[in-house]
Structure 1
Amino acid sequence: MTTNRKAARHVDIDALPYRACVGVALFNRDGLVFVGRRKSEAGPEHVGGGYAWQMPQGGIDPGEDPYNAALRELHEETNVRTVRFMAEVEDWLNYDLPRDVAGRAWKGRYRGQSQKWFAFRFLGESDEIDIRCPAGHRPEFDEWRWERLERLPELIIPFKRAVYERVAAEFAPLAVPA
């Protein structure tokens, strides 16, 4: 008996590199942080019902400085430009994708992400935030809100939780009214 099924491509996930990425904690004047609910079609790396909330994040373009990538990603995902730099996490923070996701997310080229995190204070008005048509890019969020920083680890998909715990600990002194 013959079959036309292609053999599954085996990927040695542990040998794959991490995707260089940035993350942004955007604090409002009350010391709360922006979180967006990922659209269901936003990417294969976002699995697990009930864990769709996250802060803005995204890849670093070739030759791009991480700080500039953070500003670009923030604008592309939220339309926000009116910010003031507050801090950055000194280290790069890594997370691995679950094995069943790593072979298909980002075309199977990465085991996870290595992220550089930045904190900014939002100085604009709430009508500047536009997740439906952000900076002319495809929307990644379908809802957003301001949230207490210490709550973020419980909202994030479990495989990213350790990164969010570290970000929340590092930026905790910033989570105060301006």
Structure 2
Amino acid sequence: MSATSDRPAARVVCLDRDGRVLLMHWYDHVSGLDVWEPPGGGIDPGETPLEAARRELTEETGLPGSAVLDRYVEVERDFTWLGVRYVKTECFFLARFGTSRPAIDPGELTEEEQRAYLGYDWAEELPEPIEPPELAKVVERLITDRR
């Protein structure tokens, strides 16, 4: 039986000039599965979701955190990673880049992330398996919502 965590987290949907979505590719050594998902991660104590999204974007991709807009949609998540089940609501923020496929430098990954990291892609179409499974709807909401 796996542990359960509700640690708050924030993610960033990055769109390049041509509307491609930046996805990070990870390998779960416990389950043997690999998954694609937008960059992001846990919110540290005292951080706002926006601050965490900006920090995580820079740590995982080398892209400027300042590109993350103060606009998000809440996404219900229920997934298992490295033997821990995560059940929570995450904020997914939007970042837009004016160039095609900006260069990525995942130079600040944690040791755990380095072991799991398989690469990245500026995807024209969302690959499988994708987390969250409804990512296409999340992207659409971020693009059309004007909060």
Q: TM-score range by the shorter chain?
A: 0.7 to 0.9
Task: Decide which of 133, 136, 143 is 1:161's aligned counterpart.
Answer: 133
Name the structure 2 match of 1:114.
89
Aligned CA distance change for structure 1 residues 34 and 136 (closer, same or farther; 3 Å): closer
Aligned-residue offset at 1:121: 1.4
CA distance in 1, matches of 2:65, 2:79: 33
1:46-97 superposed Cα distances (whole Å, 9 cap, x missing partner): x464x5211102110111011110011111111111653446234x322223
Name the amino acid aligned to 1:27: L
Counterpart of 1:31 in 2: which secondary structure? Answer: coil
More strand by share: 2
C-alpha distance after superposition, 1:79-137 (max 9, x if no partner): 111653446234x3222236xx79x41xxxx642320011111357834x113xx2364
Residue of structure 2 equivalent to 1:130: 105
SS in 1 for 2:77: strand
- What letter corresponds to residue 147 of structure 1 in structure 2? A
1:141 pairs with 110, 113, 117, which one? 117
Q: Name 2:12's counterpart in structure 1.
A: 24
Larger radius of gyration: 1
RMSD of Structure 2 on Structure 1 (CA): 3.2
TM-score under structure 1 length normalisation: 0.62
Distance 1:53 1:64, change over 3 A: same
Counterpart position of 2:126? 152
Gaps of 5+ in 2: none
Q: Which consecutive unaligned segments of at least 5 residues does structure 1 have? A: 1-9
Q: Determine whether 1:34 maps to 2:22.
A: yes
CA gap of 1:136–1:22, structure 2 versus 1, over 3 A, is closer
C-alpha change, 1:48 and 1:40, in structure 2 (3 Å) is closer
Percent identical among aligned pairs is 26
Q: Say if 1:144 and 1:48 are closer, same or farther in 2 by CA, change over 3 A.
A: same
User: How many angstroms does 1:165 deviate by?
Assistant: 4.0
Q: CA deviation at 1:161?
A: 1.0
In structure 1, the residue corresponding to 2:18 is in which secondary structure? coil
Alignment equivalent of 2:75, drawn from 85, 93, 106: 93
Closer, same or farther: CA 168–82 of 1 in aligned 2, 3 Å: closer
Q: How many aligned positions are there?
A: 141
